């Protein structure tokens, strides 16, 4: 499925068959527009045919190997099976629904991850257990994420991506159904661990699939849209699950997650296109990608830097009541403000990382540290505390998504495991931030102290990132392996298929698209 680069091996100008996959359905429809392509590739013959790619094309009667080029990519030859998968990528509407389906899964995962904290009092009352004992269910979910992210991603490296997404969401749904039906506390512990296993792998694969559906310059926005599901869960899903838990019992909270999981499975099945088998990446290659200095440093920076946010967020409820002086009834509203901040961050980060990943991730790390300083200095005042929570939420979302995009870029030839490990790193950050924040509180330094722990962690993560960027710019970092697979070309190749034919072929546009599929013989005049 991988095409061979043809640099320095120009085909014959007369008799060559060239397929140009373009980004827009309204481009290259006239002979004058063709110069936009041919001036980039002198090998292209002068006559051409244009077909709007708004319906499927069959290549069963096409040559077994085609010569291809893209206005933004290298010339190459590729088997027709690989070409078929690229040119039949979903159109603009299909892409939006596919990304929405991926985000819906993130909404379900975010709901179950954070709703457990709000359901703990109801579970404790039902089982007659203490809150600290039930907190183990949250820790076991995080452990499931850390274990499942590398394990599942590695074992399924050659499974077709859509099939894998469906399997992961089905397993996630079953785990939450077991949680809702748990007859004992031990059963609940096991169910929460199982629910966490697909978490990291799902987000890793979803990020890779989303970035493959759009042009290269919009991949950051696509990944941010998937992450938006996780942040919206803090505003809608988590409060709704908590409300159901209080009104109908804690099992209904997990029942809501089961419903979201079933809806996600249906949406993924309908809207997400199939990809080539497993991305063609071996287990060894995925593991080797983790050993690259830039990948390793980015994961470490995420673990340390994001731990700063969790040092504050883990203890936000007692901080707001003991330090700020808010009533306990006001705390959920402040938590909703945090969710709003994360949602705003998800909306802002896409265009930023599309322009520059390095500037975005370094800026997010620096501004996160400033936000934590602000909270540490002024959290005793209610308005300042709420603004600080909003600010921390915004920067947390920008930081996580920009880190994800950096990982996808540095390991773009083996992205699934590194993207999944990013979520494992965030869960390690959760544990580290909570531990260090709790340690300074236990030492008697008060509820302001976790903010200063957070500042230290944020600055440490920023220094690690700055070192990684400097190492890369100085040339010490290994050169990134250029992806030459057809599916790694600039995406959104659903727009226009330009078929460049031999000089004897009749010029002019081919028939417009229809609701049926088109064969190669219909597409290319004989």
Task: Report the candidate in 71, 9, 74, 72 with the shortest Cα–Cα distance to residue 35.
Answer: 71
Residue 400 reports pLDDT greater than 50: yes
Residue 475 pLDDT level (bands cut at 50, 70, 90): low
Residue 518 reports pLDDT greater than 60: no
Q: Which of 46-55, 306-315, 509-518 has the highest mean pLDDT?
A: 306-315
Cα 115 to Cα 96, 241, 273, 334, distances in angstroms: 28, 6, 31, 15
Residue 33 reports pLDDT greater than 60: no
Compute the distance between CA of residue 3 and CA of residue 526 in angstroms, rounded to an integer. Answer: 26
Contact indicator for 465, 15 with CB cutoff of 8 Å = no
Query: What pLDDT is recorded for position 281?
Result: 57
Beta strands in 29-122 (DSSP E): 47-52, 65-69, 76-79
Average pLDDT score over the chain? 74
Query: What pLDDT is recorded for position 521?
Result: 53
Q: Quick one: average pLDDT of 243-264?
A: 92
Residue 458 reports pLDDT greater than 60: yes
Angle between the 415-442 and 382-410 helix axes, to the nearest 10 degrees?
150
* Token output for 97: 């629904």
* Token output for 415: 């992205």
Q: Quick one: average pLDDT of 160-169?
A: 91
Q: What is the DSSP letter of 21?
A: E
**Exposure letters 403-423 (e unless 16+ CB within 10 A, then b):** bbbbbbbbbbbbbbbbbbbbb
Compute the distance between CA of residue 87 and CA of residue 341 in angstroms, rounded to an integer. Answer: 38
Compute the distance between CA of residue 126 and CA of residue 26 in angstroms, rounded to an integer. Answer: 61
Residue 140 pLDDT level (bands cut at 50, 70, 90): confident
* Token output for 129: 């257990």
**Residue with the larger pLDDT of the pair 190 and 287:** 190
Compute the distance between CA of residue 261 and CA of residue 198 in angstroms, rounded to an integer. Answer: 12
Compute the distance between CA of residue 358 and CA of residue 352 in angstroms, rounded to an integer. Answer: 10
Range of weakest confidence among 1-5, 346-350, 504-508: 1-5
Task: Report the candidate in 430, 338, 434 with the shortest Cα–Cα distance to residue 391.
Answer: 338
Range of weakest confidence among 312-326, 382-396, 405-419: 405-419
Residue 519 reports pLDDT greater than 60: no
Residue 275 pLDDT level (bands cut at 50, 70, 90): low
Cα 4 to Cα 76, 150, 272, distances in angstroms: 6, 31, 28
Contact indicator for 320, 327 with CB cutoff of 8 Å = no
Query: What pLDDT is recorded for position 7?
Result: 32
Q: Of all residues in the chain, what percent carry a pLDDT higher than 70?
A: 68
Residue 484 reports pLDDT greater than 60: no
pLDDT in tens, 39-76: 544 444 444 444 433 344 444 555 544 544 444 444 44
Query: What pLDDT is recorded for position 390?
Result: 95
Residue 282 pLDDT level (bands cut at 50, 70, 90): low
Residue 15 pLDDT level (bands cut at 50, 70, 90): very low
Residue 312 reports pLDDT greater than 70: yes
Residue 272 reports pLDDT greater than 90: no
Sequence length of the chain is 526
Q: Quick one: average pLDDT of 475-483?
A: 43
**Residue with the larger pLDDT of the pair 150 and 365:** 365
Residue 139 pLDDT level (bands cut at 50, 70, 90): confident
pLDDT in tens, 167-183: 999 999 999 999 999 99
Residue 156 pLDDT level (bands cut at 50, 70, 90): confident
Query: What pLDDT is recorded for position 502?
Result: 37
Residue 215 pLDDT level (bands cut at 50, 70, 90): low
Sorted by where each starts, the structural domains of the chain and their CATH numbers stand as 4-89+493-511 (no CATH), 284-488 (1.20.1250.20)
Query: What pLDDT is recorded for position 62?
Result: 53
Residue 242 pLDDT level (bands cut at 50, 70, 90): confident
- Sheet of 4-5: strands edge to edge? 4-5, 76-79, 65-69, 18-22, 496-501, 47-52
Query: What pLDDT is recorded for position 84?
Result: 45
Compute the distance between CA of residue 328 and CA of residue 122 in angstroms, rounded to an integer. Answer: 17
Query: What pLDDT is recorded for position 414?
Result: 66
pLDDT in tens, 421-456: 887 888 788 778 888 888 898 888 988 999 999 999
Compute the distance between CA of residue 153 and CA of residue 315 in angstroms, rounded to an integer. Answer: 32
pLDDT in tens, 180-212: 999 999 999 999 999 999 998 898 888 888 877
């Amino acid at each position: 499925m991988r095409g061979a680069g043809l640099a320095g091996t120009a085909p014959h100008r007369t008799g060559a068959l060239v397929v140009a996959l373009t980004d827009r359905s309204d481009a290259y429809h006239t002979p004058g527009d063709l110069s936009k392509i041919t001036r980039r590739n002198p090998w292209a013959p002068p006559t051409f045919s244009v077909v709007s790619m708004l319906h499927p094309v069959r290549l069963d009667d096409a040559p077994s190997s085609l010569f291809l080029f893209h206005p933004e990519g290298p010339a190459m030859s590729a088997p027709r099976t690989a070409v078929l998968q690229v040119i039949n990528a979903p159109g603009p509407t299909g892409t939006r629904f596919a990304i929405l389906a991926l985000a819906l899964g993130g909404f379900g995962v975010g709901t179950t991850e954070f709703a457990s904290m709000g359901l703990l009092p109801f579970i404790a009352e039902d089982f007659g257990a203490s809150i600290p004992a039930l907190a183990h269910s949250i820790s076991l979910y995080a452990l499931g994420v850390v274990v499942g992210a590398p394990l599942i991603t590695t074992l399924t490296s050659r499974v077709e991506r859509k099939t894998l997404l469906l399997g992961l969401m089905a397993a996630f749904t079953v785990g939450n159904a077991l949680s809702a039906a748990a007859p004992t506390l031990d059963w609940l512990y096991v169910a929460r661990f199982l629910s966490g296993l697909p978490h990291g792998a799902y987000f890793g694969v979803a990020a890779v699939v989303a970035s493959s559906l759009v042009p290269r310059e919009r991949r950051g926005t696509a990944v941010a849209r998937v992450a938006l599901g996780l942040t919206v869960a803090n505003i809608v899903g988590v409060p709704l699950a908590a409300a159901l838990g209080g009104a109908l019992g804690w099992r209904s909270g997990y029942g809501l997650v089961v419903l979201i999981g079933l809806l996600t499975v249906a949406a993924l099945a309908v809207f997400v296109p199939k990809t080539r088998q497993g991305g063609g990446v071996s287990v060894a290659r995925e593991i080797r990608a983790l050993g690259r200095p830039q990948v390793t440093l980015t994961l470490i920076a995420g673990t340390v830097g994001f731990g700063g946010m969790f040092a504050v967020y883990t203890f936000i409820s007692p901080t707001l009541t003991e330090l700020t002086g808010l009533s306990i009834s006001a705390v959920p509203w402040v938590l909703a403000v945090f969710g709003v901040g994360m949602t705003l961050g998800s909306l802002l980060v896409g265009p930023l990382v599309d322009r520059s990943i390095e500037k975005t991730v370094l800026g997010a790390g620096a501004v996160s540290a400033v936000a934590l300083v602000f909270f540490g200095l002024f959290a005793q005042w209610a308005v300042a505390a709420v603004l600080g929570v909003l600010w921390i939420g915004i920067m947390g979302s920008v930081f996580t998504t920009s880190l994800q995009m950096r990982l996808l870029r540095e390991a773009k030839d083996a992205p699934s495991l590194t993207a999944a490990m990013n979520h494992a790193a965030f869960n390690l950050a959760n544990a580290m931030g909570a531990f260090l924040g709790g340690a300074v509180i236990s030492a008697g330094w008060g509820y302001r102290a976790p903010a200063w722990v957070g500042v230290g962690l944020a600055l440490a993560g920023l220094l690690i990132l700055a070192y990684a960027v400097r190492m890369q710019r100085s040339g010490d970092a290994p050169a990134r392996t250029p992806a030459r697979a057809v599916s790694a070309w600039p995406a959104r190749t659903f727009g226009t298929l330009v078929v460049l034919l031999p000089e004897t072929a009749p010029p002019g546009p081919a028939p417009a698209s229809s609701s049926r599929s088109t064969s190669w013989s219909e597409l290319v005049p004989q």
